[in-house]
Amino acid sequence: IAKEVAKLLEMKAQLGGDEGKPKFVLKTPKGTRDYGPKQMAIRERVFNAIISCFKRHGAEVIDTPVFELKETLTGKYGEDSKLIYDLKDQGGELLSLRYDLTVPFARYLAMNKITNIKRYHIAKVYRRDNPAMTRGRYREFYQCDFDIAGQFDPMIPDAECLKIVHEILSDLQLGDFVVKVNDRRILDGMFAVCGVPDSKFRTICSSVDKLDKVPWEEVRSEMVGEKGLSPEAADRIGEYVQLHGGLDLIEQLLQDPKLSQNKLAKEGLGDMKLLFEYLTLFGITGKISFDLSLARGLDYYTGVIFEAVLLQQENEHVEELVGVGSVAGGGRYDGLVGMFDPKGRKVPCVGVSIGIERIFSILEQRLEASEEKIRTTETQVLVASAQKKLLEERLKLISELWDAGIKAEMLYKKNPKLLNQLQYCEDTGIPLVAIVGEQELKDGVVKLRIVATREEVSIRRESLVEEIRTRTSQ
Amino acid sequence: IAKEVAKLLEMKAQLGGDEGKPKFVLKTPKGTRDYGPKQMAIRERVFNAIISCFKRHGAEVIDTPVFELKETLTGKYGEDSKLIYDLKDQGGELLSLRYDLTVPFARYLAMNKITNIKRYHIAKVYRRDNPAMTRGRYREFYQCDFDIAGQFDPMIPDAECLKIVHEILSDLQLGDFVVKVNDRRILDGMFAVCGVPDSKFRTICSSVDKLDKVPWEEVRSEMVGEKGLSPEAADRIGEYVQLHGGLDLIEQLLQDPKLSQNKLAKEGLGDMKLLFEYLTLFGITGKISFDLSLARGLDYYTGVIFEAVLLQQENEHVEELVGVGSVAGGGRYDGLVGMFDPKGRKVPCVGVSIGIERIFSILEQRLEASEEKIRTTETQVLVASAQKKLLEERLKLISELWDAGIKAEMLYKKNPKLLNQLQYCEDTGIPLVAIVGEQELKDGVVKLRIVATREEVSIRRESLVEEIRTRTSQ
C-alpha cells in the first residue's frame, strides 16, 4: 500500500507541475463579493459608528463559530429554513452555516447558563436567498446585533433597542427613516378576533410579513387561496393592517370593542403604550410608527417587533439607484433560550440587528458620486532617496521609524527615481517624504518634504520622529 | 397542492408549539469555541497590536467571502487538501470553506488584474484537522495575513515580512522566540544533490516538514518505507537538515562542493545572504535562524519560507501548560496568482500569516494566573436613583448623556435599590455614578459619585457631561 501511495503521489506531483491555464471560472460564489481597500475604508467607517453606539450603551462583545450543529438551527426560522446552507457530511457532526446571530446567541446563553447579559456581535451570516447585489442583498452579509437578555421591568430594554436604531441611523446620515413597531401579541390577538384558527397564526403572519413588498390584494389571495383562510377573516385583517400611528392609535385600539376583549392584544397594547411613553422621554417618537402591518417572518419573536426603513428621497437620484428598504430590525424573543435549555428555563431577550450591506451600497454610491478621495492606508511618511546606492540607508532609517511607531513606507527598489517616489505619495496620499542623500548623511540630517506644499526642511536625525509626529497630528 | 402545503404548515405550527426539552446536545461543533466577553477583550488587544503593526507598514485591508468555489482551492494544498470543508450540494455551485487567506488573495489579484498591492486580511479559516484545543489548535481559527504582491528587487519585501513578525512577537511580550528561515530552492537543490528523484520533491518535502514534531528517525523511515526513497539519499538529507545558523552557515554552504554546483540551491543561498544583510540593517538577526530542516507543507511556496516558534520558558510553568509551537509562518509564492490568471501571468508575492489562537491561549492562561481584572465594557457612568418613582428621570438623563456621546448604563428596573446600583458598578468597573434624587432635581444638579473613593460631588446638570469627560479621560 505504501508503495502505491508513493506512486500516486508521484503522479500527482507530475500533474501539479503543469501550472498552465486554469480550467475554471474566476469568480466569487454567487451572492458574495470581495471587499477591496476602498470598500473596506467605507465599511470601517460604518462599523465604527455602530460599535461606538453599542459601547455607548454598555454592551460587552462575544463571538461564536460560523457554523453550528445543524439541529441547533432546526425549527427556528419558519418558512425561511430552506435558505440555510448545510455543510457536506464528511464524517462527524452535521453542520450548517449560521443564518443569523440570534439563534447562536440563545444557544450560547443556554450552554453557559447565562441569565443576564447585554452584548453585541458583529459577524457574517449566510442565506441561500435570491441575491440582488445592486440593492445590497447578498448570500453572505454582515449583521450587527445588540441584545439585552434578562428578567427586567417591561419595555425598558425594548425602548433602549429603539433608541439605538435611532442613534445609529441618525449618526450615519442616511437620510430620512422611519422605525415601524408592532407586537406579536397584538398580531396574534388581531388574528384571533378576525377569526383565524390558532393553527394558522404563524403562516398567516408570514403572509402579512410580505405587505412591505407586495400589495394587499396579493397577500389576501395568498391567505385565502394557498393557506385556506376564509375571505371574511382576510378582509377583517385587511382593515387592521392598514392602520399606523402613534400613542393616539394605541389609545384607539385599546377602546376597540373586539381587540380590547382579547387578552393577548390587550397585554400587547398596554406594553406598546408604555414603550411609547419611554420613547417620548428619549425624544424619538417622531421617527417611530406603530404599524399593524409589520409582522416579521421569524418564528421566535414573542413580543415587540420593529423594523427600520429608509424613506425615498425624491431629490437625490443617487439613493434611488440602490432603492430603499429595511436596514435594521429586531424584537423580543422570550422563548428562544428556553428551547435550548435542558429544563426549558426561559431567559427573556430583546435585540436589534443592523443590516449594513444596504447601508454600504448607499454610502459606496454616494462616495463615488461625490468624487471624494479616501485614503486606504495611514502611512505618515515615505522614506526616499535622491541618489543611487542608498538602499541600505533607507532600510536603516525606515527601521528606526517603525521602531518608534511611525507609519512608514519605502519603494521596494534598489534605486528608485525620486520622481517615482514623489508620485507614489501623490497617488496614495502620504503627506511627508523623508529623503536621505549623501550630503544629509554626512550632516546628520534628513530632508523632510511636505507633499502638499512641496516645502523642504532639514531636520536633525534625532528630531525626525518628533517632527513627523507633530506634522501628522491633525 | 396549496391545500396540502397549508395542512403541513398547520401540523408544523402545532408541533412548533411544543417548546419542550431539546432532544440534542448543547455544544459548538467539534474543534470550535465561543468567545465570551473576557476572551474577546484579550482577542481585541492582540488584534490591535497586529493591526497597528500592519498599518505601520502601510498595508491596505481587504476581505473575501468565507467560502470559495471548490475548484478555486483544488490543487493548492498538497496532502492537506483532505482537510478542506466542503459545503453540501444544494443546487448551484460547489463550494468549500477557505483553508487559508493566501489562495483567496491570489484569486482576488488574478480576478481584478492587480499586479501590485500590500494588503492585510484578518479572518477565520477552516481545517478539518484533529483539534487540540488546550494547545490552541482549532478547526475554526483566525489568520492575520500581511502580503506584498508585485515585481520588486530581491529580498526587500521578504525582509519586511520578517521585520513584521519580529515587531509583533516582541510587542506581544510572549517570551523568547526564534524565526526559522529557509528557501524552497535550497530545499529542492538539496534534494537534487542528495539523489531524490524530481517527482518525489514535494512528498519528501512534506516528510521534512514533520521534523519539528517527530524525530529524524521517524521521518527517515517514512521517506524510505512509505515514500520509496533510497536509504543513502535519506541519510544525505539527514546530514543537511541538522544544520542551522546565520550568515556563517550561508557562506559555508555557498562553498559546499555539492550544493554550490546546483543552480537552484545557489540562487537560494545568494538570496538568503542578501536577506540576512537586510535583516542586519533591521537589527533583528539575533532572533533569526537559517534552518535547513524548515520545509512548510503547502505546495505553493517557491522561495523564502519562514516560521516563528516560541521557545519554552523553564521558569514559567504557565506557558508549559499551553505548550509551544509555531505562531507565525509564511514565505514567497511567485506562481500562485499565475495559476488563476487565464493567460498564466505571474504576480510575485511574499507574505506572513500570524496564527493567533496559540497566542490567545498563552495570554488567556497568563491572565487567569495573574488575577488581573479586565473590564469587558467601557461604560463611564451609571445613571442611578436613590428614591423610588424616578425611572422617567433616569431615562431622561441617560438619553441626554448618550446624545452627548457619554457611555452610560442604567439598571432596567423601575425602582432599583441604591445598593444594587452601586454593587453593579463594583462588579463591572464603572467608575462613576450619576444619582438623581428629588432634591437634586429641584436644585438643577446631579450627584456624581466616584466609585473608587466613594466621594460625592454636586454637579450642575449643564456641566455634567463635561465633568464626566474630564473625570474619565486618563
User: Chain A contacts of B128, Cβ < 8 Å?
Assistant: 90, 92
Closest C-alpha to A160, from A304, A264, A28: A304
Q: Do the domain assignments include residue B31? A: no
* Residue B14, pLDDT score: 52
CB contact under 8 Å between B377 and A55, yes or no, is yes
Within 172-191 of A, beta carbons closer than 8 Å to B belong to none
Length of chain B (residues): 474
Choose one of B324, B340, B369: the last residue of a domain.
B369
Q: Do B220 and B100 fall into the same domain? A: yes
Q: Do B352 and B449 fall into the same domain? A: no
User: Chain B contacts of A25, Cβ < 8 Å?
Assistant: 69
Choose one of B324, B342, B369: the last residue of a domain.
B369
User: Is the model's pLDDT at B17 over the cut of 70?
Assistant: no
Q: How far is CA B273 from the centre of its chain?
A: 30
The shortest C-alpha distance from A162 to chain B (Å) reads 12
Q: Do B177 and B290 fall into the same domain? A: yes
Whether the CB-CB separation of A423 and A411 falls below 8 Å is answered with no
CATH number for the domain including B249? 3.30.930.10
Q: Do A360 and A235 fall into the same domain? A: yes
Q: Do the domain assignments include residue A127? A: yes
Partner-chain residue, chosen from A5, A150, A399, that has the shortest CB–CB distance to B283: A399
Q: pLDDT tens across B150-166, in order?
A: 999 999 999 999 999 99
User: Chain B contacts of A160, Cβ < 8 Å?
Assistant: 412
Q: Do B332 and B415 fall into the same domain? A: no
Partner-chain residue, chosen from A199, A281, A378, that has the shortest CB–CB distance to B395: A281
* Residue A79, pLDDT score: 78
* Residue A288, pLDDT score: 97
Average pLDDT value for residue range B5-31: 67
Cα nearest neighbour of A106 on chain B: B26
Q: Tell me the backbone φ, ψ of residue B449, rounded to 5 degrees.
A: -105, 135
* Residue A454, pLDDT score: 96
Q: Do the domain assignments include residue B22? A: no
CB contact under 8 Å between A226 and B6, yes or no, is yes
Cα nearest neighbour of A166 on chain B: B403
Q: Do A96 and A234 fall into the same domain? A: yes
Structural domain boundaries, residue B467? 381-471
Starting at the edge strand found earlier in the chain, the sheet holding A117-126 runs: A60-61, A117-126, A140-149, A349-355, A326-332, A304-310, A177-183, A288-291, A244-245
User: Is the model's pLDDT at B232 over the cut of 80?
Assistant: yes
Whether the CB-CB separation of B360 and B136 falls below 8 Å is answered with yes
Query: In what helix (H) or strand (E) does residue A432 lie, and over which residues does it extend?
Result: strand A432-436
CB contact under 8 Å between A87 and B92, yes or no, is no
CATH number for the domain including B416? 3.40.50.800
Q: Do the domain assignments include residue A82? A: yes
* Residue A319, pLDDT score: 43
CB contact under 8 Å between B59 and A402, yes or no, is no
Q: Do B423 and B308 fall into the same domain? A: no
Q: Do B364 and B385 fall into the same domain? A: no
Partner-chain residue, chosen from B75, B110, B226, that has the shortest CB–CB distance to A2: B226
CB contact under 8 Å between B152 and A68, yes or no, is no
Q: Do the domain assignments include residue B216? A: yes
Q: pLDDT tens across B306-343, in order?
A: 999 998 765 555 444 444 678 999 999 999 999 999 88
User: Is the model's pLDDT at B105 over the cut of 50?
Assistant: yes
User: Chain B contacts of A121, Cβ < 8 Å?
Assistant: none
Range with lowest mean pLDDT among A342-356, B125-139, B192-206: B125-139
- Determine the Cα angle at A216 with ends A215 and A220, to 5°: 130
CB contact under 8 Å between B119 and A93, yes or no, is no
* Residue A27, pLDDT score: 95
Percent of chain B whose pLDDT exceeds 90: 79
Q: Do the domain assignments include residue B81? A: yes
Q: Do the domain assignments include residue A19? A: no
Q: Do A133 and A69 fall into the same domain? A: yes
* Residue B24, pLDDT score: 66
C-alpha dihedral (A254, A259, A261, A267), degrees to nearest 10: -60
Residue A245: burial class (beta carbons within 10 Å; 0-12, 13-18, 19+): middle
**How many Cβ atoms are within 10 Å of A397's Cβ, its own excluded?**
25
Q: Do the domain assignments include residue A54? A: yes
* Residue A398, pLDDT score: 98
Report residues of chain A scoring pLDDT below 50: 16-21, 318-323
* Residue B19, pLDDT score: 46
The pLDDT mean for chain B works out to 91
Whether the CB-CB separation of B67 and A139 falls below 8 Å is answered with no
Q: Do B407 and B268 fall into the same domain? A: no
At B77, the pLDDT band (50, 70, 90 cuts) reads confident
* Residue A181, pLDDT score: 98
Long-range contacts of B197-204 (CB under 8 A, 24+ apart): B199/A10, B199/A13, B199/A14, B200/A6, B200/A9, B200/A10, B200/A13, B200/B227, B200/B228, B200/B229, B201/A13, B202/A9, B202/A13, B202/A16, B202/B78, B202/B299, B203/A6, B203/A9, B203/A10, B203/A13, B203/B79, B203/B227, B204/B229, B204/B237
Q: Do A364 and A385 fall into the same domain? A: no
Within 338-357 of A, beta carbons closer than 8 Å to B belong to 338-344
- Count up the domains in chain B and report the number: 2
* pTM (predicted TM-score): 0.90
Choose one of B369, B401, B425: the last residue of a domain.
B369
Query: What sign results for the dihedral spanned by CA atoms B154, B171, B211, B241?
Result: positive
d(C-alpha A207, C-alpha B5), whole Å: 14
d(C-alpha B278, C-alpha B266), whole Å: 19
* Residue A394, pLDDT score: 97
Q: Do B274 and B162 fall into the same domain? A: yes
* Residue B316, pLDDT score: 52
* Residue A375, pLDDT score: 93
Cα nearest neighbour of B44 on chain A: A61
